């Protein structure tokens, strides 16, 4: 801690933490990767898988904001997915896809705001259970409120997406639309990651009382993360509705909410790339691995338990740990080796 700090590898602080760019590079990399997939793959089946992966990625990214950054145990993500789908189908009936999407965002955000204002002061487990109750209420409303959702919660013939006169009316065109949408979603999240908002959300999530004594608006931050994440879900719902042309309440049950937990936890709860990786697993694994397809519930359940017991940082965390190990092995700098004797932060468990 004397002036010779320059030789210390950890002291090379040249700019504020919000300046790093690797997230933005990652977004670009993701778009390239997805575009290659969209070009290489060619069957309707594969386009379907790709589209599901992209839709679930948006849903998972939203949940990353709510649970990963915001630390809020919410089962409502599936319900907001449904709300977005129904709102979009309803608003686009006599207008266009654009209005539907807008309606999904506005209605999703407004309902999320109202809900979280209503149960604002409850503690985290009460909050979790109120989100479960909210999901049940939403499902019943979808099923019964015919003027909004169609008879029995089934809507058919939802128009295909379009933008500025361009029709996304084939499977591959929809894939491109979804790549764009995930790109935008990732970009928005990356901007949050590279801003003070990330650290503020994590602090409020870790120790709300301490955060408040530092002068942080803890309630407002919690609210913000919940509303943002729920709006992401609503956007995903809108895209899902217009992609498939058909929605029913089946697709928005609590089972989906639990899948979303798995997406985030398996992928990695502490990284924005977690939900992308997790969504790929949840969408592709049951299709490609017969065993998983047949024993889906069992495999998912055991995976949930395994993930939090054995690798709480998820697949992304595993990659990172592996990568760091390789880098350390290559380096012969004694100071860095000395530094690595400190406890590995990735072994720090739970929150």
Partner 1 sequence: MLSANGITVRFGGVVAVDNVSFDVPDGTTLGLIGPNGSGKSTFLNALTGVVPSTGTASLDGRRLPLGKPRSTRRAGLARTFQTPQNFGELSCIENVLLADSDRRFTGLTGAWLARPSMWRSERARWKRALDHLELVGLGAHAEQPASLLSYGQQRMLELARSLVGTPSILLLDEPSAGLNATETAELGRILLDVRDRGLALLIVDHKIDFIDSLCDTIVVLQLGRVVASGAPSEVWKDPVVVEAYLGEG
Partner 2 sequence: MDRFISLFTIGIAQGAIIAIVALGFLLIYKATGVVNFAQGDLVTLGAYVAVWASTERGWPLGVAYLLAIVVLFVVGIVLERFAYAPLRGRSIHVVVISTLGAALVIRAIILKWMGPTPTRLASPLGFDVITVGKARIPKQNLLIIGLTVISVGGTMLVFNMTQFGRQVRALASDRVTAMLQGIRATRMSMLTFGLSAAMSALAGVLIAPTRAVTVDLGFSVMLYAFAAAILGGMGRLGGVVVAAIAIGLVRQLGSGYINADYAEIYPFILMLVVLAARPEGLFGHDTGSRL
Which residues of this chain interact with partner 2, rule CB under 8 A?
73, 118-123, 125-126, 128-130, 132-134, 136-137, 140-141, 144, 209-210, 254, 258, 261, 265, 295-298, 300-305, 308-309, 312, 349-351
- 284: tokens are 């592709």
CB of 116 to partner 2, least distance (A): 11
Kindly state whether residue 334 participates in binding partner 1, applying the rule CB under 8 A.
Answer: no
CB of 71 to partner 2, least distance (A): 8
CB of 150 to partner 1, least distance (A): 35
Based on CB atoms, which residue is closest to partner 2, 100 or 150? 150
φ, ψ of residue 268 to 5 degrees: the values are: 135, 115
Kindly state whether residue 191 participates in binding partner 1, applying the rule CB under 8 A.
Answer: yes
Kindly state whether residue 129 participates in binding partner 1, applying the rule CB under 8 A.
Answer: no
Residues facing 167 on adjacent strands: 162
Which of helix, strand or coil describes residue 305? Answer: helix
Do residues 26 and 33 lie in contact, with contact meaning Cβ atoms separated by under 8 Å?
A: no
How many other CB atoms are there within 10 angstroms of residue 28's CB atom?
12
Using the rule CB under 8 A, which residue among 43, 94, 151, 209 binds partner 1? 209
Torsion of CA 320, 323, 329, 331, to 10 degrees: -90
Do residues 77 and 146 lie in contact, with contact meaning Cβ atoms separated by under 8 Å?
A: no
CB of 122 to partner 2, least distance (A): 5
Kindly state whether residue 149 participates in binding partner 1, applying the rule CB under 8 A.
Answer: no
Stretch that binds partner 1, among 44-52, 137-145, 173-181, 211-219 (CB under 8 A): 211-219
Kindly state whether residue 214 participates in binding partner 1, applying the rule CB under 8 A.
Answer: yes
For residues 287-312, one letter each, b for 16 or more C-beta atoms within 10 angstroms of the residue's C-beta and e for the rest, the string is: eeeeebeeeeeebbeebeeebeeebb
Per partner kind, with CB cut-offs from 5 to 8 A, the member of partner 1, partner 2, none near residue 200 is partner 1
CB of 22 to partner 1, least distance (A): 15
DSSP state of 67: I
CB of 277 to partner 1, least distance (A): 20
Considering only residues 262 through 321, tell me which ones interact with partner 1, judged by CB under 8 A.
270
- 34: tokens are 């997805």
The residues, ordered by sequence, that sit 6+ positions from 147 with a Cβ below 8 Å of its Cβ are: none
Kindly state whether residue 58 participates in binding partner 1, applying the rule CB under 8 A.
Answer: no
φ, ψ of residue 15 to 5 degrees: the values are: -155, 160
For residues 170-191, one letter each, b for 16 or more C-beta atoms within 10 angstroms of the residue's C-beta and e for the rest, the string is: ebbbbbebbbebbbebbeebbe
Using the rule CB under 8 A, which residue among 47, 213, 239, 305 binds partner 1? 213
Question: What span, in angstroms and rounded, lies between the C-alpha atoms of 83 and 79?
Answer: 6
- 138: tokens are 């939403």
CB of 126 to partner 2, least distance (A): 6
Kindly state whether residue 200 participates in binding partner 1, applying the rule CB under 8 A.
Answer: yes
Contact positions toward partner 1, by CB under 8 A? 1, 5, 8, 10-13, 15-19, 188, 191-192, 194-197, 199-200, 202-203, 206-207, 209-218, 224, 228, 270, 342-343, 345, 348, 351
């Amino acid at each position: 801690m004397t002036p010779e700090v320059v030789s210390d590898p950890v002291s090379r602080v040249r700019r504020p933490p919000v300046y790093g760019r690797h997230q933005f590079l990652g977004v670009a990399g993701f778009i390239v990767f997805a575009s290659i997939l969209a070009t290489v793959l060619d069957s309707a089946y594969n386009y379907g898988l790709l589209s599901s992966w992209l839709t679930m990625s948006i849903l998972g990214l939203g949940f990353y904001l709510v649970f990963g950054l915001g630390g809020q145990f919410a089962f409502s993500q599936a319900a907001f997915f449904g709300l977005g789908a129904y709102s979009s189908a309803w608003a686009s009936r006599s207008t266009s896809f654009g209005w539907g999407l807008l309606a999904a965002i506005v209605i999703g955000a407004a309902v999320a705001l109202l809900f979280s204002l209503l149960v604002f002061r409850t503690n985290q487990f009460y909050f979790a259970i109120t989100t479960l109750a909210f999901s049940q209420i939403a499902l019943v409303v979808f099923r019964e409120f015919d003027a909004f959702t169609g008879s029995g919660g089934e809507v058919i013939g939802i128009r295909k997406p379009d933008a500025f006169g361009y029709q996304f009316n084939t499977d591959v065109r929809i894939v491109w639309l979804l790549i764009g949408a995930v790109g935008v979603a990732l970009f928005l999240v990356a901007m949050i990651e590279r801003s003070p908002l990330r650290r503020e959300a994590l602090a409020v999530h870790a120790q709300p009382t301490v955060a408040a004594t530092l002068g942080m608006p803890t309630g407002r931050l919690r609210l913000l993360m919940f509303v943002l994440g729920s709006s992401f879900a609503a956007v995903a719902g809108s895209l899902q509705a217009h992609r498939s042309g058909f929605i029913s309440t089946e697709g928005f049950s609590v089972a989906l909410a639990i899948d979303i937990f798995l997406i985030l936890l398996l992928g990695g709860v502490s990284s924005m790339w977690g939900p992308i990786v997790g969504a790929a697993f949840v969408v592709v694994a049951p299709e490609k691995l017969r065993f998983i397809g047949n024993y889906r519930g069992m495999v998912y359940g055991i995976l949930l338990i395994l993930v939090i017991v054995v690798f709480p940082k998820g697949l992304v965390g595993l990659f990172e740990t592996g990568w760091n190990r390789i880098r350390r092995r290559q380096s012969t700098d004694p100071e860095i080796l000395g530094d690595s004797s400190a406890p590995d932060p990735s072994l720090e468990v739970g929150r």
